[in-house]
């Protein structure tokens, strides 16, 4: 009787073990499938940045070849400005560049350039060919400063408040729609709020 009592639980647990062996992988596969499905519906341009509301990283970059003014974190204080991460090898950077040239011509907002993982001669030639809309341009040849800014890829554009804090991050090329409906209204709001605080 003792032996049959001991054997019965083993017989009962066998189907449960088989069930778990198939159920666990199926459950894991389902969770991964749902996560991937949700991920595919997200717009990569809306990826939140952990740096929003935080001061820009501390950095000091030399100028791009042929320019006299490099870029450091203290240059991103005192006025609302844009920081554009670009590279000569970036096709999408070429698409947005005319918008920055117009902003510079019309002196709407200061634009600083962060030249990301570029060869010095290529960056200089690119700015000579397409025009230079940047007040200051830092050469981030090894990409370290870009990493500190959480750059996923170029182009990316940051709106920086007068206090040197990152207010917004735009991933991908800036379009006329993004500029008109998101970036420039935010620039104005930041200017108004900092003026109100100064009074």
Percent of the chain with pLDDT over 90: 70
Average pLDDT, the chain: 85
pLDDT score recorded for residue 51: 85
Judged against a pLDDT cut of 50, whether residue 12 lies above it is answered with: yes
First to last CA, the chain: 92
| pLDDT tens figures, 153-162 | 999 999 999 9
Find, among 74, 78, 126, 122, the residue nearest to 101 by Cα: 126
Residues 76, 79, 82, 84, CA torsion sign? negative
pLDDT score recorded for residue 19: 64
Threshold 0.85, pTM exceeds: no
| pLDDT tens figures, 49-64 | 678 999 999 999 999 9
Q: Give, in words, the CATH class of 49-198.
A: alpha beta
Higher-pLDDT residue of 180 and 35 is 180
Mean pLDDT along residues 15-26:
62
**Domain coordinates in residue numbering, the chain:** 2-42, 49-198
Judged against a pLDDT cut of 60, whether residue 32 lies above it is answered with: no
pLDDT score recorded for residue 154: 96
Report the C-alpha gap between 134 and 55 in whole angstroms: 21
| pLDDT tens figures, 99-154 | 999 999 999 999 999 999 999 999 999 999 999 999 999 999 999 999 999 998 99
pLDDT score recorded for residue 15: 61
Q: Which residues contact 69 (CB under 8 A, 6 or more apart)?
A: 63, 135, 136, 137
Report the C-alpha gap between 168 and 174 in whole angstroms: 13
Secondary structure of 42-86 as H, E, C letters: CCHHHCCCCCCCCECCCCEECECCCCCCCEEHHHHCCCCEEEEEE
pLDDT score recorded for residue 194: 72
pLDDT score recorded for residue 110: 97
φ and ψ of 158, to 5 deg: -110, 140
């Amino acid at each position: 009787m003792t032996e049959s009592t001991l054997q019965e639980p083993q017989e009962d647990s066998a189907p449960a073990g088989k069930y778990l062996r198939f159920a666990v992988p199926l459950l894991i596969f389902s969770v991964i499938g749902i996560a991937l499905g949700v991920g595919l519906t997200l717009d990569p341009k809306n990826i939140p940045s952990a740096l929003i509301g935080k001061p820009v990283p501390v950095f000091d970059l030399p100028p791009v070849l042929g320019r006299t003014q490099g870029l450091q974190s203290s240059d991103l204080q005192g006025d609302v400005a844009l920081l554009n991460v670009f590279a000569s090898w970036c096709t999408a950077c070429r698409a947005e560049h005319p918008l920055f040239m117009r902003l510079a011509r019309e002196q709407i907002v200061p634009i600083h350039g962060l030249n990301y993982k570029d060869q010095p001669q290529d960056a200089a030639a690119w700015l000579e060919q397409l025009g230079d809309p940047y007040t200051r341009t830092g050469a981030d040849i090894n990409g370290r400063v870009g990493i500190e800014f959480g750059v996923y890829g170029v182009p990316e554009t940051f709106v920086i408040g007068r206090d040197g804090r990152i207010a917004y991050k735009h991933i991908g090329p800036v379009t006329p729609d993004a500029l008109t409906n998101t970036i420039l209204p935010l620039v104005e709001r930041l200017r108004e709020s900092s003026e109100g605080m100064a009074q």
